[in-house]
Chains A and B, each alone.
With several copies, the nearest count.
Chain A
Amino acid sequence: MRTEFILEAITAVNDVILHSETELESLDREIGDGDHFINLKRGCTTLLAMRDELASLPPADVLQRIGMKLLSTIGGASGPLIATFFMIMAKVEKAGDISSLSEIAAAFNASVEGIKQRGKANAGEKTMLDTLIPVAETFNRLAAANATPLEIFNAIQQTAEQGMLSTRDMIATKGRAAFLGERAIGHIDPGARSSQIIIHTICELAKQHHTA
């Protein structure tokens, strides 16, 4: 993983999150408490302001700083989960350069495992994990099968979208939507949607890099 790519990703994710304000806010208003967009925006704004300071650091330190900063900035349920993702990524990167797509896939998988543990949750509970778990699976499977980068990124984007959409018909058992019982049915989980948007954006960026 390269520091430069991470910094580019920060800018791209910030843009797309800002553009998703209405949607993310209303998803969380419907089955949560309405702050998911604000929480993410706060995180993005802080990372954006950190870019200069991160630019000269090795990727492991960049990921670790991002994790710690998000942990103290986002708050809510998504804060510790997203922070955990980066902190594990950092740990894996530190242990040995992640560079091949299959190494990145393995690191991604470990980070998603970290989210599962932190949130004591799994697939099917109407959370961001319904986007992340299938993505980790697709990513690892295709990387192991030596698919081309383009095939992999396209497949990830598709899987993320399916995963996100699958939350619509679920009853939630974790997160705030769990308080709603049956009333949560018919609504997409905000965290599942934001993860999908972020993954989609990073994949687009990665595709540009691989074709460039």
Chain B
Amino acid sequence: MKKFINQVDDVLAESLTGFASAHANIVSLNLEPHFLTRRHKAENKVAIISGGGSGHEPLHGGYIGYGMLDAACPGHVFTSPSPDQMLAAAEAVHAGKGVLFIVKNYAGDVMNFEMAAEMLPFESATVLTSDDVAVENSTYTTGRRGVAGTVIVEKVVGSLAETGADLAACKALGDKVNSRTASMGVALTSCTVPAAGRPTFDIGDTELEMGVGIHGEPGRRREPMRNADAIVADMVAAILEDLKPAAGSEVLLLVNGFAATPLMELYLLYNSAAKLLQDKGLNVTRSLVGNYITALDMAGASITICLLDDEIRQHWDSPVHTAALRWQR
């Protein structure tokens, strides 16, 4: 394992400190317990808090700021944060209108946020993101994972919250975006958890892992490596089979890198996916390409499609000012 680190135990604190100091005009860092908030507390709005294991940067800290999150709770690498972090973060950013937790659907995250919500002295609600179609959904199981669609949920709900909408409305919009969003991921290499010091899985030079999440866990299938168009076709098919969009539907297309795949390849994947969607009669009107939710140093990418409607499009387009996502229209 070659990584730019000092001590394995200090990676998180040092990286967070660097993040907070590089973006001191946007965020503030609290160290005991770990949480990040906006530099200037927002008033008169639902406080939007997310969090989860670290190693997915820029998620979630990079999405703190106007139009998106009020606070984020980073856990250890790939490990859910603990309820004391959520409680302290909520204490810091609650502005009288309740707290909305945006939580990726993993047993650990769900339970830790749930316990925090139970202990919270404020009104709260939770949006669980579960956009990963690699995992079959069922009421008897943990259900689908939350992956790159989480960024879209955070952006859209963050925008609504900025208008002063109440907790129920924010929760409802979050659930709606989640239900209209589906993702599929593919890995070309494993990642290496710093504390483990070796790749989570071994993979050959002619293989890929189809249907991976964002924690270096093996995917649904080990498959032979093939060209980009063929990979994209399989991913898009899985997504569309889930979303079943009507012909002519307007969609947002997000091609997300897991960290070690260069932009040149991500844009090539975008090109391939956008053409395919067009051929299938869909209308790609919004897009995002880059490393938005990563898996440490994994090479690979995910494709996410969100079915837009006027409300979602409007909140996607509205201004956002965070470390990792920023626009003004």
Do A and B come into direct contact in the complex, CB within 8 Å? Answer: yes
- The residues of A with any CB-CB pair to B shorter than 8 Å are 25, 29-35, 38-39, 42, 71-81, 118-119, 173-176, 178-181, 183
If A29-B196, A38-B76, A176-B106 are given as contacts, then 12 extra A-B residue pairs at C-beta distance below 8 Å, sorted by A number, are A33-B215, A33-B217, A34-B200, A75-B75, A75-B82, A77-B80, A79-B82, A81-B111, A119-B107, A174-B107, A175-B107, A181-B220
A179 x B82 contact (CB < 8 A): no
A14 to B28, CA, bound (A): 36
A119 to B215, CA, bound (A): 20
- The residues of B with any CB-CB pair to A shorter than 8 Å are 33, 53, 75-85, 106-108, 111-112, 114-115, 134-136, 138, 140-142, 145, 193, 195-196, 200-201, 213, 215-218, 220
B84 x A72 contact (CB < 8 A): yes
- By beta carbon, the residue of chain B nearest A174 is B142
Chain B residues closer than 8 Å to A38, beta-carbon distance: 76, 79, 195-196
Instruction: Select the residue from A71, A75, A173, A181 with max chain B CB neighbours within 10 A.
Output: A75
A77 x B134 contact (CB < 8 A): no
B213 x A179 contact (CB < 8 A): yes
Chain B residues closer than 8 Å to A74, beta-carbon distance: 82
B142 x A35 contact (CB < 8 A): no
A38 to B140, CA, bound (A): 29
Chain A residues closer than 8 Å to B76, beta-carbon distance: 35, 38-39, 42, 75
A35 x B218 contact (CB < 8 A): no
A119 to B110, CA, bound (A): 9
- When A33-B200, A179-B135, A183-B218 are in contact, do A173 and B142 touch as well, CB less than 8 Å? yes
A173 x B78 contact (CB < 8 A): no
A72 x B196 contact (CB < 8 A): no
Secondary structure of the A side of the interface? helix
B79 x A178 contact (CB < 8 A): no
Chain A residues closer than 8 Å to B85, beta-carbon distance: 72
- By beta carbon, the residue of chain B nearest A83 is B115
- By beta carbon, the residue of chain B nearest A42 is B76
Instruction: Select the residue from B108, B112, B140 with max chain A CB neighbours within 10 A.
Output: B108
Chain B residues closer than 8 Å to A25, beta-carbon distance: 196
Nearest CB on B from A15, distance (A): 20
A79 x B107 contact (CB < 8 A): no
Secondary structure of the B side of the interface? loop
A175 to B135, CA, bound (A): 12
A38 to B12, CA, bound (A): 14
Nearest CB on B from A83, distance (A): 8
Nearest CB on A from B193, distance (A): 5
A180 x B217 contact (CB < 8 A): yes
Nearest CB on B from A184, distance (A): 9
A73 to B141, CA, bound (A): 26
- When A119-B111, A176-B215 are in contact, do A34 and B80 touch as well, CB less than 8 Å? no
Nearest CB on A from B2, distance (A): 18
- By beta carbon, the residue of chain B nearest A182 is B220
Chain B residues closer than 8 Å to A179, beta-carbon distance: 134-135, 142, 145, 213, 217, 220
Chain B residues closer than 8 Å to A76, beta-carbon distance: 53, 75, 79-80, 108
Chain A residues closer than 8 Å to B107, beta-carbon distance: 77, 119, 174-176
A74 to B115, CA, bound (A): 14
Chain B residues closer than 8 Å to A78, beta-carbon distance: 108
Chain A residues closer than 8 Å to B217, beta-carbon distance: 31-33, 176, 179-180
Nearest first, the 10 A-B pairs at minimum CB distance are A77-B108, A33-B215, A80-B111, A77-B107, A76-B108, A72-B84, A173-B141, A75-B79, A76-B79, A178-B142
- By beta carbon, the residue of chain B nearest A183 is B218
Chain B residues closer than 8 Å to A71, beta-carbon distance: 82-84, 115
A174 to B218, CA, bound (A): 16
Cβ 8 A contact of B140, one of A77, A118, A173: A173
Question: 10 interchain pairs (CB within 8 A)?
Answer: A31-B217, A35-B195, A71-B82, A75-B81, A76-B75, A76-B80, A77-B107, A81-B111, A118-B115, A178-B141
Nearest CB on A from B144, distance (A): 9
A176 to B217, CA, bound (A): 8
- By beta carbon, the residue of chain A nearest B220 is A181
Chain B residues closer than 8 Å to A180, beta-carbon distance: 217-218, 220
B79 x A35 contact (CB < 8 A): yes
- When A35-B78, A71-B84, A75-B80 are in contact, do A178 and B135 touch as well, CB less than 8 Å? yes
Chain B residues closer than 8 Å to A80, beta-carbon distance: 82-83, 108, 111-112, 114-115
A171 to B293, CA, bound (A): 28
A119 to B79, CA, bound (A): 16
- By beta carbon, the residue of chain A nearest B215 is A33
A183 to B193, CA, bound (A): 21
Chain A residues closer than 8 Å to B81, beta-carbon distance: 75
A22 to B209, CA, bound (A): 24
A32 to B78, CA, bound (A): 10
